[in-house]
Amino acid sequence: MATAQTQIRKGRKFDQVVEGAQEIFLRDGFEGASVDDIARAAGVSKATLYSYFPDKRLLFMEVATRQCSEQERISIEKIDSSRPPHEVLACVAHQFLGFIYSEMGQRIFRICVAESDRFPLLGQEFYHSGPMILRAAVVDYLKKAADRGELRIDDFNLAADQFGELCKADLWPKLIFGIIRSVDEPEKERVIDGAVTTFLARYGAGKAGPSAA
């Protein structure tokens, strides 16, 4: 398989099929979603569905990458490069956690992991459609903040990745492993405050540490 796009054929009812698939994937998950139910929700025949997507995993990939791309687009639009780090990082964290805490975000992660051996393109294309784009936007912001003297960073890519991992602390693993079923706003704020505070303690201008040497 060269790329997923080489196996997908677009047509007049393409978006209709994707929207119907999203409804069923959210309701039943990947394994539980039947082609019959997806075709019914989309209002198309199975033949039409298969003409666009010969493999259910390709259809899920399209749903996942669309969702991820939209979330990252919104996140990037909210990055105001002129604002100070504590404001921008908190805003990015809110958008990021809103997606990965969501039902769709959790399903996407689980399926990418479950299918990684049989269908490595699923995870790869998902990453390139959203997380990589948001990471680049965060790196760009960090560089601008550093140029203004607000941050002291040597490795911007590592710093961006570290902030993402700080945002995933505590609650996200519990969601993924089924320890908790949902996250309320105060819990989310606690994680965001901790992530921003910890990040700025390491990279804030004037802080002691290797990057301040």
58-115 pLDDT tens trace: 898 888 888 877 877 888 888 999 999 999 999 999 999 998 998 888 888 888 787 7
C-beta separation of 62 from 8 below 8 A = yes
Nearest C-alpha neighbor of 42 from the set 34, 105, 65: 34
142: burial class by Cβ within 10 Å (0-12, 13-18, 19+)?
A: buried
CB atoms within 10 A of CB 98: 15
Instruction: Tell me the C-alpha distance between 6 and 112, whole Å.
Output: 20
Which pLDDT belongs to residue 139?
Answer: 97
Single pTM value for the model: 0.80
Determine the 3-state secondary structure of 67 from DSSP: helix
- 60's tokens: 């899920």
Instruction: Tell me the C-alpha distance between 41 and 181, whole Å.
Output: 27
